[in-house]
Amino acid sequence: MSFVVTGLAPEPFSPLFGADDAALAAAGAIRFTADAKPGFPCRITLEDAEPGETVLLLNHEHHAAETPYRSRHAIYVREAATAPARYQDQLPPALAVRLLAIRAFDADGMMIDADIVEGREAVPLIERFLADPKAAYLHAHNARRGCFAARIERA
């Protein structure tokens, strides 16, 4: 089963890129300078930021479904990100090196399946979930911290 992993569009976050600390605080965001790799996974580029690069930590609603599974959580975005990543039939670098919680949702936004897997071993699980005709899309989360990592859909 062919699949696509996509990063978030940068436009909702770009007004914060380069903003001063007061503007970031007003938006509930914090700027960090990456000091390790891996350590600061960008949800736009789906790569970890390079040491010395700035990222924003902010709250993001990644599942706006009108169900009990509606969800938001903290994510990092690189201030230099200009376009969403797109990976077909492979996991992006930021997902491949982490323990993932993969969650399958139906067209109504209800969770229909979920499992935990090491990123480097996630492709068979993704393919199995997407083989279910009830699955409309998947969400990958970083299992240890619980934050949203990326959306996965059939190619």
Burial 86-115 (b: 16+ CB within 10 A, else e): ebeeebbbbbbebebbbbbbbeebeeebee
Strand partners, 74: 59
pLDDT at 1: 85
Q: Tokens 């190619």 belong to which residue?
A: 155
The residue ranges of every structural domain in the chain are 3-154
Element (H, E) at 131: helix 123-131
pTM beyond cutoff 0.85: yes
Per-residue pLDDT of the chain (155 residues; tens, 9 = 90+): 899 999 999 999 999 999 999 999 999 999 999 999 999 999 999 999 999 999 999 999 999 999 999 999 999 999 999 999 999 999 999 999 999 999 999 999 999 999 999 999 999 999 999 999 999 999 999 999 989 999 999 99
pLDDT digits (tens, 9 = 90+) for 75-93: 999 999 999 999 999 999 9
Cα 134 to Cα 118: distance, rounded to the nearest angstrom: 24
Instruction: Provide the β-strand partners of residue 105.
Output: 111, 137
